Amino acid sequence: MTSVRAVLFGLAAAACGAAPPRSEPAPPAGDGAGLLQADADAPPGATTYERPAWQVGDRFTLVRGGVLAAEFEVVAADAGGYFVRGPGGVRLRRDLDLANLGEWHPDRDEPQHVLAPRDVRFHWPLWVGKRWSCEYVDRAAGQPALRTRASYLVEDLDTVTVEAGTFAALRIVRTLQLPDAGDRVLTRTQVIWYAPGPGLEVRQILGDSAVDLVAFARRGD
């Protein structure tokens, strides 16, 4: 089965192609630089979109390529963010801004895959034309650590229809680079459609396939 991180997040190890050759210097052991840049002010008259609030009990289902389905549920929330239970019980960790922190063991407070300090998938508030970028180190068991730079651009507000419904969704282009690999690893581009209504990504284009939202339920629905 495709890994949870490939299904849901399209993380750097999957998105940027092969790791740098082993003869290359290893990326630093510490964290990446974090947020590198973010537009500070919306232009006059722009519509802005604030950070959503997820709640324990929120559920959503994603399907990749029309075949691979995965169900997720917010199982815990605290001052540090959210734990989202995915297939096999793995817990996906996002902070309150929905930055991606990685994956934790189903039963223990033990990280299995970490993005240090975080992949800033969203920088609030959002508006059409906003740009931001970040750097993190991607660490997964049995794989070389990868310093990754992600750049984001909110291109437009689209109407997106998926199985879960029709949504006004911000089209966000995500560009990934591995700076320690020089020019031997391709820059990769992904597209995310974030819908402010449900506060979720309703579609992602990862590689040659789409990841679509097919169902969601807020606590109490």
Contact 132, 48 (CB under 8 A): no
Q: What is the pLDDT of residues 33-49, one digit of tens each?
A: 999 999 999 999 999 99
Write out the two tokens for 62: 């994603």
Contact 91, 85 (CB under 8 A): yes
Q: How far apart are the first and last CA of the chain?
A: 30
Please check the confidence at residue 20 and state whether its pLDDT lies above 50. no
Mean local confidence (pLDDT), 166-182: 92
pTM of the model: 0.87
CATH architecture of 4-17+37-217: Beta Barrel (2.40)
Percent of the chain with pLDDT over 70: 85
Q: What angle do CA 46, 37, 44 make, to 5 degrees?
A: 15
89 dihedral zone (left: phi>0; alpha: psi -120 to 50; beta): left
